């Protein structure tokens, strides 16, 4: 257990949160900026940071009076959090701060400064470093959507990819059950505090100890289920996954009885806005759901096996192989974009990752046709990168 | 705060004139937010080192203490000084504890005593979110170390907690008993720049004696002759629960006021005995080492051991409670070179079950989520064995104990290291060495106090003149025919009780003719049962009837029943028939088995024994039983599961009273 976990918990949970009614509150980004300042720039531990006199906070970190008051209040509860932290430790729950090498790299890369300050996990940490896909969809999904979910989970398990799901009814539950049935690995992302998941830990005991299931939550360990939490949890599911598959987006009714687009819809729209590639199952004409609208908005249609519609590749192929004809420019450029999201690469690296048997000058020619690529020269070597992309990602 | 200012406050709040230098040194560091390990002898005034700063701090000081009796005592004292002090413990009602937790949350409590086990309690963890915590104290900190004499797994959690506390929050660990090795181990575990303050552990008001004897009889005779001559009241430590029973019956026989105490007693009885001790209700309490640390009585005038403890550190700890008032206290150790090494050796040997058993537990934990009871059932291991195994596996990070639905379950920890048995061997080697050291104490020709101080790592150059090697007279046992006769009489009339009474059964506590294995009774039973020796010999019948008459002679009975056999044919039936003829009470053969059971001795724990006999019996003519007073006969009484099961059946069938009478009671797992 991280001996600073009580400090991290305080930073995550004890600072007043920004909202429309509390504009002095802390946004996640503000916390991340503070972490970058002390951890990244000043190479200081969180314990040392909290041990600094308030003058230093003010002068060296340029923290304003209101925030200093917030930090002071938070500091006074570190001892209280030590008790809770010990309890977590005793129950095999780990607190993973964003600065830890155990923290999911995918999560960090996808969410940047909106990545959670800490993640609570129980299970094999290893799961977080494996390739992952999310399968999302409605709580009252149709049979065909559940079959789709099963197909995708089966294929993912075969390819040793982790299935990330949200432990709701319907698609989430199917994704988890299928991954377990096919001896794959799963991450359950909770819409609640991790200490309130007792019955789940009981049900998945064997899978957890065998290293097949990891339970993750970003909320206060004792927080009960809430709608806000469920929405925030969807963001984490997307963040934890390299690929996102949508089984079915359906309208649902809120507590007032009004029809809403539902959580899946909101998640996909948000994901598309952020430039994520999202695969949506192409429904039959008789189905009533919002999948077609999502496809219209830019999600990629896939068939019941997860193949991109109009081509005959399996999911595996779409991910790992790029057809080497000029006709497939679009998918080539998509793939290049995707692999460069994580940073610059040399021509050879790109050839390897895309499994192309081209000569490197052919690749260079093709890359130069793409307007979002720039070349960089470092120590006489040429690298390709996305225009305007930062050299390295956060906290690396 | 200067020492002067502090002492002004000290006079005002505690009514004490000033601090000792070492006390002030400690307090100064606490006020400065440091971490300290304080090793000082009993009676030094360690408590003041945290009680005083606790009254200065604005928030609440939490004291982890394993000893409920001591907690209660301290709370009483502090409350009388007007300091808001409470303790939370398992012997108070849920409502009381909840009220105290609420008070703590509102800042109404300055000093809060709790048991380390409380970290398991949800309500407490919830409360810790709101308590304004000023300091954490770990009392009896030697319980942290496996190298100490009283390692307690619950303390592991306190160490984890302390390591998670923020810098600058003062932490004080205290103990009266720590060797250098234990000291280092505690300091390492609490870590982070801890300072160690170690005082002089010498107790110069002790008078130390060793009495060498050739038999248990000599111990009993010397005690019978001399205990009334000892000043005040004191404690007699016996090696096993059975021994506490035998000594207390011996004293009862001699009309010496005494009472027996052991961990098997329920909370109410223990509290009653602790209170009685405080009021000098008895000349002496006869106890296993379950009693000791928890007693805060200043004027214990003598402590006598009938068995050598496992190590000098156990011994120092157990005698430590004597003479806290500084007046003379007599410290006597009996030693029988022919026999007395056996028991502590057995403790050390049986301290670790076989590796196979460890593996069995690991496999079971991997196969599902189980609590202790289910683990015992699945593995057929004894409770004390499973507890040792669990604690080792937790210590090694192979399993963890978690709470599901308010019940403890054991989880396997993925990717954990394989079982490390080297540490067991290392520990066993150390314990054996410590036992050798204890024997050296017996044999030493030099100062006994100096021997103990050296062992604990004290570098004292005091002159020691307080033992039978340094000026005090040697004690020898003189056995006279008169006392041999008395002892013989006692033995002839002493019969072990069978404790089986419960609220929902009409069964009463029964009687056995003897302990199995203590006399020739066991051999005789074994011969008949397992070596085709024929019926139980008549002397067993006479002895059993004598026991029966002593216990139940004043009562009338309607019927004799006997436990139907598993493998021993008609032995018990024939035995019961003979008893029926002599007592002139009719016998019935209608108590029968309705399912096949296995021999109880094949099951290692009470749960499996209970399951084995559960619903195993029926009575063919239930109407005959109604309102009857019944004698229930069997050969061997072990866990009592069979007798209790039959008691339940007969109660349901309407029996008014069931009085168990057996030939022998096993010594079983009743070690402590």
Mind listing the pLDDT tens digit for each residue in A121-158?
999 989 999 999 999 999 999 999 999 999 999 999 99
Residue B346 has a CB neighbour count (10 Å cut-off) of 12
More confident residue, B256 or B517: B256
More confident residue, B322 or A317: B322
Tell me the percentage of chain B whose pLDDT exceeds 90: 60
Cβ-contact B624, B588 below 8 angstroms: yes
The CATH number that applies at residue B566 is 3.40.50.2020
Domain end point (choices B365, B385, B420): B420
If asked whether residues A168 and A79 sit together in one domain, one would say no
**Residue B672 maps to a domain:** no
Our CA-based measurement puts residue A38 at a distance from the nearest CA of chain B, in whole angstroms, of 18
Residue B193 sits at the chain A interface (C-beta within 8 Å): no
Cβ within 8 Å, pair B157-A92: no
Once rounded to an integer, what is the mean pLDDT over residues B129-151?
A: 89
If asked whether residues B18 and B55 sit together in one domain, one would say yes
Contacts of B550 (CB under 8 A, 6+ apart): B493, B495, B511
pLDDT at A317 over 50: no
Once rounded to an integer, what is the mean pLDDT over residues B486-503?
A: 88
If asked whether residues A20 and A166 sit together in one domain, one would say no
**Residue B425 maps to a domain:** no
Q: Which of B119, B165, B369 sits opposite A202 (nearest CB)?
A: B369
Cβ within 8 Å, pair A82-B165: yes
Going by C-alpha positions, the residue among A334, A338, A302, A365 that lies closest to residue A149 is A302
Q: What is the DSSP letter of B418?
A: P
Per-residue pLDDT at B127: 86
Interface of A with B in 60-79 (CB under 8 A): 75-79
If asked whether residues B583 and B482 sit together in one domain, one would say no
Per-residue pLDDT at B518: 66
Residue with token string 């995550």: A12
Q: Output the six-digit token pair for A392.
A: 């390295």
Which residues of B fall within a CB distance of 8 Å from A90? 119, 157, 160, 400-402
The domain in which residue B110 lies consists of 3-198
Per-residue pLDDT at A393: 40
**Residue A196 maps to a domain:** yes
- Measured distance CA(A71)–CA(A81) in Å, rounded: 15
Per-residue pLDDT at B286: 93
If asked whether residues A84 and A130 sit together in one domain, one would say no
Mutation target to probe the A interface, by most A beta carbons within 10 A, among B107, B116, B117, B166 is: B166
Q: How confident is the model at residue A226 (pLDDT cuts 50, 70, 90)?
A: confident
DSSP lists the bridge partners of residue B114 as B64, B88
Per-residue pLDDT at B343: 85
Domain end point (choices B390, B420, B450): B420
Q: How confident is the model at residue A36 (pLDDT cuts 50, 70, 90)?
A: very high
Domain end point (choices A272, A302, A332): A302
Q: How confident is the model at residue A310 (pLDDT cuts 50, 70, 90)?
A: low
| Alpha helix segments (H runs only) across B497-591 | 520-530, 538-552, 571-583
DSSP assignment of B209-249, as one string? EEEE-SSHHHHHHHHHHHGGGSSSEEEEE-SSHHHHHHHHH
Per-residue pLDDT at B258: 94
If asked whether residues A341 and A228 sit together in one domain, one would say no
Q: Which of B157, B164, B404 sits opposite A5 (nearest CB)?
A: B164
**Residue A54 maps to a domain:** yes
Per-residue pLDDT at A302: 94
pLDDT at B81 over 90: yes
pLDDT at B31 over 90: yes
Per-residue pLDDT at B634: 95
Cβ-contact A390, A341 below 8 angstroms: no
Going by C-alpha positions, the residue among B299, B300, B305 that lies closest to residue B287 is B305
The CATH number that applies at residue B66 is 3.40.50.300
Interface of B with A in 386-445 (CB under 8 A): 400-405, 411-415
Once rounded to an integer, what is the mean pLDDT over residues A49-68?
A: 94
Residue of A nearest to B397 (CA): A92
If asked whether residues B472 and B517 sit together in one domain, one would say no
Going by C-alpha positions, the residue among B149, B160, B103, B148 that lies closest to residue B127 is B103
**Residue A327 maps to a domain:** yes
Which residues of B fall within a CB distance of 8 Å from A209? 366, 411-414
Per-residue pLDDT at B277: 84
pLDDT at A319 over 50: no
Cβ within 8 Å, pair A80-B129: yes
If asked whether residues A296 and A380 sit together in one domain, one would say no
Tell me the percentage of chain B whose pLDDT exceeds 70: 98
**Residue A266 maps to a domain:** yes
pLDDT in tens, B404-414: 888 899 999 98
Q: How many domains does chain B have?
A: 4
Domain end point (choices A302, A332, A357): A302
**Residue B100 maps to a domain:** yes
pLDDT at A326 over 60: no
Query: Coil, strand or helix: which one is B585?
Result: coil
Once rounded to an integer, what is the mean pLDDT over residues B153-163?
A: 89
> Among A209-218, A342-351, B353-362, B385-394, which stretch is predicted with the lowest mean pLDDT?
A342-351
Which residues of A fall within a CB distance of 8 Å from B132? 76
> Among A279-283, A341-345, B453-457, which stretch is predicted with the lowest mean pLDDT?
A341-345
More confident residue, B296 or B243: B243
**Residue A378 maps to a domain:** yes
Give the strands of the sheet with B35-39, arranged side by side: B85-88, B111-114, B60-64, B133-138, B171-175, B35-39, B195-198
Residue with token string 């799963």: A186
Mean pLDDT (chain B) is: 90
**Residue B583 maps to a domain:** yes
Per-residue pLDDT at A327: 45
Per-residue pLDDT at B204: 85
Which residues of A fall within a CB distance of 8 Å from B88? none
Angstrom CA distances, B117 to A293, B66, B407, stand at 57, 8, 14
**Residue B383 maps to a domain:** yes
If asked whether residues B611 and B580 sit together in one domain, one would say yes
> Among A122-131, A385-394, B383-392, B540-549, which stretch is predicted with the lowest mean pLDDT?
A385-394
Domain end point (choices A302, A329, A354): A302
Q: Output the six-digit token pair for A111.
A: 């969410």
Our CA-based measurement puts residue A155 at a distance from the nearest CA of chain B, in whole angstroms, of 26
- Measured distance CA(B670)–CA(B672) in Å, rounded: 6
User: Could you give the ipTM of this predicted complex?
Assistant: 0.78
β-strand pairing of B399-404 with B407-412: antiparallel
Per-residue pLDDT at A312: 38
If asked whether residues B485 and B499 sit together in one domain, one would say no
DSSP lists the bridge partners of residue B618 as B592
If asked whether residues A132 and A248 sit together in one domain, one would say yes
If asked whether residues B229 and B279 sit together in one domain, one would say yes
Characterize A100-133 residue by residue with b for buried, 16 or more Cβ atoms within 10 angstroms of its Cβ, and e for exposed. Answer: beebbebbbbbbebebbbbbbbbbbbebbebebb
Q: How many domains does chain A have?
A: 3
If asked whether residues B564 and B661 sit together in one domain, one would say yes
| Number of cross-chain residue pairs from A and B with Cβ atoms under 8 Å apart | 87
Once rounded to an integer, what is the mean pLDDT over residues A322-350?
A: 70
Our CA-based measurement puts residue A211 at a distance from the nearest CA of chain B, in whole angstroms, of 7
Once rounded to an integer, what is the mean pLDDT over residues A376-393?
A: 71
If asked whether residues A158 and A247 sit together in one domain, one would say yes
The CATH number that applies at residue A328 is 1.10.10
If asked whether residues A369 and A333 sit together in one domain, one would say yes
Cβ within 8 Å, pair B165-A210: no
Please return the burial class of A206, using the count of CB atoms within 10 Å of its CB with bins 0-12, 13-18 and 19+: middle
- Measured distance CA(A366)–CA(B496) in Å, rounded: 96
Residue with token string 């002139």: B584
Once rounded to an integer, what is the mean pLDDT over residues A299-303?
A: 93
| CA dihedral for B90, B91, B95, B98, sign (positive or negative) | negative
- Measured distance CA(A78)–CA(A84) in Å, rounded: 10
Once rounded to an integer, what is the mean pLDDT over residues B454-483?
A: 88
Going by C-alpha positions, the residue among B377, B407, B375, B370 that lies closest to residue B388 is B375
If asked whether residues B13 and B105 sit together in one domain, one would say yes
Residue A129 sits at the chain B interface (C-beta within 8 Å): no
Residue B654 has a CB neighbour count (10 Å cut-off) of 14
Cβ within 8 Å, pair B125-A87: yes
Q: How confident is the model at residue A320 (pLDDT cuts 50, 70, 90)?
A: very low
If asked whether residues B400 and B454 sit together in one domain, one would say no
The domain in which residue A357 lies consists of 321-386
Per-residue pLDDT at B361: 96
If asked whether residues A238 and A357 sit together in one domain, one would say no
pLDDT at B669 over 70: no
If asked whether residues A215 and A284 sit together in one domain, one would say yes
If asked whether residues B407 and B548 sit together in one domain, one would say no
Q: How confident is the model at residue A390 (pLDDT cuts 50, 70, 90)?
A: low
Q: Output the six-digit token pair for A391.
A: 């050299």
pLDDT in tens, B577-620: 999 999 999 999 999 998 888 888 888 888 888 888 888 999 99
pLDDT at A218 over 90: yes
Cβ-contact B56, B31 below 8 angstroms: yes
**Residue B430 maps to a domain:** no
**Residue B456 maps to a domain:** yes
Once rounded to an integer, what is the mean pLDDT over residues B56-83?
A: 90
Cβ within 8 Å, pair B129-A7: no
If asked whether residues A186 and A259 sit together in one domain, one would say yes
More confident residue, B52 or B395: B52
**Residue A155 maps to a domain:** yes
The CATH number that applies at residue B386 is 1.10.10.10
Per-residue pLDDT at B156: 87
If asked whether residues B74 and B161 sit together in one domain, one would say yes
Per-residue pLDDT at A343: 77
Per-residue pLDDT at A389: 66
If asked whether residues A265 and A189 sit together in one domain, one would say yes
Once rounded to an integer, what is the mean pLDDT over residues B237-244?
A: 88
pLDDT at B636 over 50: yes
The CATH number that applies at residue A283 is 3.40.50.450
**Residue A37 maps to a domain:** yes
If asked whether residues B644 and B556 sit together in one domain, one would say yes
Residue with token string 């070597």: A381
Domain end point (choices B181, B198, B215): B198
Interface of B with A in 153-192 (CB under 8 A): 157, 160-161, 163-169
Give the distance from CA A306 to its chain's centroid: 21
Which residues of A fall within a CB distance of 8 Å from B164? 1, 3, 5-6, 82, 85-86, 89
Mean pLDDT (chain A) is: 87
pLDDT at A325 over 60: no
**Residue B91 maps to a domain:** yes
Our CA-based measurement puts residue B370 at a distance from the nearest CA of chain A, in whole angstroms, of 10
Per-residue pLDDT at B292: 58
Once rounded to an integer, what is the mean pLDDT over residues B112-133?
A: 87
Mutation target to probe the A interface, by most A beta carbons within 10 A, among B107, B134, B164, B374 is: B164
**Residue A109 maps to a domain:** no
- Measured distance CA(B402)–CA(B342) in Å, rounded: 38
pLDDT at A25 over 70: yes
Residue A325 has a CB neighbour count (10 Å cut-off) of 8
Once rounded to an integer, what is the mean pLDDT over residues A186-202?
A: 95
pLDDT at A392 over 80: no
pLDDT at B30 over 50: yes
Q: Tell me the Cα Rg of chain B.
A: 28
pLDDT at B262 over 80: no
Per-residue pLDDT at A153: 96
Once rounded to an integer, what is the mean pLDDT over residues B54-58?
A: 95
């Amino acid at each position: 257990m991280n001996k600073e976990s009580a400090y991290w918990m305080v930073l995550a949970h004890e600072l007043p949160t920004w909202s429309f009614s509390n504009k002095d509150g802390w946004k996640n980004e503000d916390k991340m900026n503070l972490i970058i300042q002390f951890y990244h720039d000043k190479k200081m531990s969180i314990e040392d940071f909290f041990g600094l006199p308030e003058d230093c906070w003010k002068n060296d970190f340029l923290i304003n009076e209101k925030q200093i008051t917030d930090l002071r209040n938070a500091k006074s509860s570190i001892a209280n959090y030590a008790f809770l932290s010990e309890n977590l430790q005793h129950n095999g729950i780990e607190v993973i701060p964003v600065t830890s090498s155990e923290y999911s790299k995918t999560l960090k890369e996808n969410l940047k400064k909106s990545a959670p300050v800490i993640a609570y996990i129980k299970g094999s940490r290893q799961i977080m470093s494996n390739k992952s896909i999310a399968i999302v969809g409605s709580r009252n999904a149709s049979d065909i959507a559940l079959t789709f979910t099963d197909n995708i989970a089966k294929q993912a398990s075969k390819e040793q990819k982790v299935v990330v799901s949200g432990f709701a009814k319907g698609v989430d539950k199917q994704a988890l059950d299928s991954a377990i049935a096919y001896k794959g690995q799963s991450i359950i992302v909770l819409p609640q505090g991790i200490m309130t998941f007792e019955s789940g830990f009981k049900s998945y005991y064997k899978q957890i100890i065998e290293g097949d299931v990891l339970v993750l939550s970003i909320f206060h360990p004792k927080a009960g289920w809430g709608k806000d939490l469920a929405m925030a949890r969807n963001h984490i599911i997307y963040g934890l996954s390299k690929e996102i598959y949508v089984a079915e987006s359906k309208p649902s009714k809120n507590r007032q009885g009004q029809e809403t687009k539902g959580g899946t819809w909101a998640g996909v729209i948000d994901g598309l806005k952020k430039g994520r590639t999202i695969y949506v199952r192409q429904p039959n004409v008789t189905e009533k759901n919002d999948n077609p609208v999502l496809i219209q908005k830019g999600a990629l249609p896939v068939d019941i096996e997860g193949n991109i519609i109009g081509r005959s590749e399996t999911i595996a192929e779409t991910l790992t192989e790029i057809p080497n004809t000029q006709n497939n420019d679009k998918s080539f450029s998509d793939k290049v974009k995707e692999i460069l999201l994580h940073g610059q690469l040399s021509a050879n690296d790109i050839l390897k990752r895309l499994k192309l048997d081209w000569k490197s000058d052919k690749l260079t020619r093709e890359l130069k046709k793409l307007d979002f690529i720039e070349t960089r020269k470092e120590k006489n070597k040429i690298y390709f990168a996305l225009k305007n992309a930062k050299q390295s990602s956060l906290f690396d | 705060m200067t020492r002067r200012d502090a002492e002004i406050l000290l006079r005002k709040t505690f009514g004490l004139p000033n601090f000792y230098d070492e006390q002030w040194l400690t307090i100064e560091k606490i006020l400065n937010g440091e971490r300290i390990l304080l090793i000082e002898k009993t009676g030094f005034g360690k408590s003041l080192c945290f009680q005083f700063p606790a009254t200065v701090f604005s928030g609440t000081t939490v004291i982890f203490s394993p000893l409920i009796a001591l907690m209660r005592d301290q709370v009483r004292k502090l409350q009388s000084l007007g300091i808001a002090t409470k303790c939370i413990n398992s012997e108070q009602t849920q409502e009381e504890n909840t009220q105290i937790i609420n008070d703590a949350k509102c800042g109404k409590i300055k000093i809060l005593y709790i048991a380390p086990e409380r970290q398991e309690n949800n309500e407490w963890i919830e409360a810790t979110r709101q308590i304004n915590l000023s300091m954490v104290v770990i009392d009896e900190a030697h319980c942290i170390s496996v190298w100490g004499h009283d390692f307690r797994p619950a303390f592991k959690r306190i160490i984890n907690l302390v390591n998670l506390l923020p810098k600058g929050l003062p932490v004080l660990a205290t103990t009266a008993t720590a060797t250098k090795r234990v000291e280092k181990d505690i300091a390492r575990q609490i870590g982070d720049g801890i300072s160690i303050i170690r005082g002089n552990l010498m107790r110069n008001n002790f008078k130390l004696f060793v009495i060498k004897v050739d038999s248990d009889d000599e111990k009993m005779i010397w005690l019978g002759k001399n205990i009334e001559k000892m000043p005040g009241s004191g404690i007699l430590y016996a090696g096993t629960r059975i021994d506490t029973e035998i000594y207390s019956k011996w004293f009862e026989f001699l009309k010496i006021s005494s009472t027996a105490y052991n961990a098997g007693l329920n909370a109410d009885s223990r509290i009653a005995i602790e209170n009685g001790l405080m009021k000098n209700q008895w000349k002496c309490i006869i106890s296993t080492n379950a009693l000791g640390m928890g007693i805060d009585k200043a004027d214990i005038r003598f402590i006598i051991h009938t068995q050598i403890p496992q190590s000098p550190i156990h011994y120092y700890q157990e005698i430590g409670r004597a003479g806290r008032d500084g007046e003379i206290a007599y410290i006597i150790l009996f030693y029988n070179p022919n026999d007395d090494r056996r028991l502590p050796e057995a403790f050390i040997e049986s301290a670790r079950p076989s590796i196979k058993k460890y593996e069995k537990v690991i496999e079971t934990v991997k196969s599902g989520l189980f609590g202790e009871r289910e683990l015992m059932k699945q593995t057929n291991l004894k409770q004390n064995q499973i507890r040792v195994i669990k604690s080792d596996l937790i210590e090694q990070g192979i399993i963890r104990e978690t709470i599901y639905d308010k019940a403890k379950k054991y989880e396997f920890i993925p990717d954990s290291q394989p079982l490390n048995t080297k540490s067991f061997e290392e520990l066993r080697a150390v314990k054996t060495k410590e036992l050798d050291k204890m024997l050296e104490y017996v044999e030493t020709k030099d100062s006994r106090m100096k021997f103990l101080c050296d062992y604990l790592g004290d570098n004292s150059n005091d002159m020691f003149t307080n033992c039978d090697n340094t000026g005090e007279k040697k004690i020898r046992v003189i056995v006279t025919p008169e006392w041999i006769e008395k002892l013989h009489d006692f033995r002839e009339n002493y019969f072990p009780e069978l404790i089986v009474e419960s609220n929902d059964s009409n069964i009463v506590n029964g009687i056995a003719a003897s302990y199995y294995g203590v006399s020739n009774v066991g051999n005789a039973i074994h011969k008949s049962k397992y070596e085709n020796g024929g019926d139980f010999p008549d002397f067993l019948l006479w002895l059993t009837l004598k026991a029966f008459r002593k216990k139940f002679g004043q009562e009338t009975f309607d019927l004799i029943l006997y436990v139907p056999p598993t493998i021993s044919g008609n032995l018990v039936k024939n035995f019961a028939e003979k008893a029926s003829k002599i007592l002139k009470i009719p016998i019935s053969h209608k108590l029968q088995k309705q399912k096949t059971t296995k021999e109880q001795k094949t099951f290692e724990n009470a749960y499996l024994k209970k399951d084995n006999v559960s619903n195993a019996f029926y009575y063919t003519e239930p109407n005959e039983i109604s309102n009857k007073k019944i004698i229930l006969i069997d050969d061997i009484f072990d866990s009592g599961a069979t007798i209790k099961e039959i008691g339940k059946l007969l109660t349901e069938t309407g029996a008014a009273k069931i009085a168990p009478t057996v030939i022998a009671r096993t010594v079983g797992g009743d070690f402590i």
